[in-house]
Amino acid sequence: MQLEEVVRLECCTTDFQAKNKESALNELVKLVKHNSILKDIPDADILAALKKRENQGSTGFGKGIAIPHCQISGLDDFVVGIAIARKGVDFDAMDHKKVRIFVIIVGPVESRSGHLQLLAMVSRILKEPGIEDSLFAQDSKIGLLDAFLRNGPDTLAISSHGKDKLMLLLVHDPEIMDEIGEIFIEYGIEEATIIETSNMKSVLSHVPLFLGFFNFTGDRESNGKLLLLKLQRNYINALVAGLEDAFGNLDDFSGLSLVVLDIFYARGL
């Protein structure tokens, strides 16, 4: 099993705000529900499964680390999330210290061996020297995910070769650019190429032959911005989900459209 394929970007946060164990479990459920694999699983079922495991013994194993985990019927794959609680959470840890690093695992009942394998992988990473400082130094989802996976076994190291995609975001409404920038910062996207664009109609409207055919009154803004950014394949769904959290279903939103393309060949990127 490749760890990078089951740790979900949208299920990572560097700003976990739970106050106690009860609220932590509830917030962790909300966090993993950001992934579509769990969309048909009621929150209450995940919470009950997590509590059942906690009743057997706290998954707060000490040194500020907890790995809450459970198995759910009807799943096709695993969902792993990471949460950083900078102030710490009272989680009934074995050493009675507050938990500041949570890694939650939700998996299929049918894959007991896979679940055990994941627990072993996560535990090994969280035992790496300096892992706490490495994770706490991150302030974005992508940074947190990358820092976590970089500490894994060499066989699990991320390789971007063959996994990069080109996302094109066409922003029709300039007033949402600030909000897009905030989303990019949250997800750790620091580089994007911005190109000023013009709608084809705005060009044709200045051609004498077509005068009178194109009237922009009440139409979508004719000028906009095209954002080009290179992303790893497993980040695409998370970023789209982040955009739709802000703007709603993009199929129904007129201010923004996007397309994702395979990168067939690239140099210097």
Burial of 202 (0-12, 13-18, 19+ CB in 10 A): middle
Last residue of a domain, one of 156, 185, 216: 156
Least confident span in 109-123, 189-203, 244-258: 189-203
Which residue segment(s) compose the domain that 112 sits in?
Answer: 3-156
**Residue of 269 and 48 predicted with greater confidence:** 48
- The answer to whether residues 250 and 161 touch, using CB atoms and an 8 Å cutoff, is no
Q: Which has the minimum average pLDDT: 24-38, 73-87, 88-102, 139-153?
A: 139-153
Q: What is the pLDDT of residue 202?
A: 58
d(CA 100, CA 90): 9
pLDDT range class, residue 162, cuts 50, 70, 90: low
* pLDDT of 16 above 60: yes
Helix, strand or coil for residue 44?
A: helix
- Alpha-carbon span 255 to 172, nearest angstrom: 5
For residue 238, the model assigns a pLDDT of 84
Cα–Cα distances in angstroms (integers) from residue 222 to residues 25, 93, 179, 202, 252, in the given order: 47, 58, 20, 6, 19
Q: Does any domain span residue 58?
A: yes
User: Could you tell me if 103 and 229 lie in one domain?
Assistant: no
Q: Are residues 99 and 188 in the same domain?
A: no
Same domain, residue pair 60 and 151: yes
Total domain count, the chain: 2
Residue 198 lies in a domain: yes
CA neighbor of 80 nearest in space, from 35, 48, 27: 35
Q: What is the mean pLDDT of the chain?
A: 86
**113 and 152 assigned to the same domain:** yes
Question: For the ranges 9-13, 92-96, 198-202, 261-265, which has the lowest average pLDDT?
Answer: 198-202
pLDDT digits (tens, 9 = 90+) for 97-138: 999 999 999 999 999 889 999 999 999 999 998 999 999 999
Residue 106 near residue 75 (C-beta atoms within 8 A): yes
Nearest to 127 by CA among 57, 54, 59, 63: 63
Query: Band of the pLDDT at 263, cuts 50, 70, 90?
Result: confident
Q: Where are the alpha helices (DSSP H) in the chain?
A: 21-32, 43-55, 112-126, 131-136, 141-150, 177-187, 200-204, 236-247
Q: How confident is the model at residue 157 (pLDDT cuts 50, 70, 90)?
A: very low
Render the burial of 172-193: b for 16+ CB within 10 Å, e for the rest.
Answer: bbeebbeebeebbebbbbeebe
- Both 128 and 240 in a single domain? no
What is the pLDDT at residue 218? 43
pTM of the model: 0.73
Residue 155 has pLDDT above 60, yes or no: no
Does residue 93 sit in the same domain as residue 124?
A: yes
Cα separation, 120 vs 124, in Å, equals 6
199 part of a folded domain:
yes
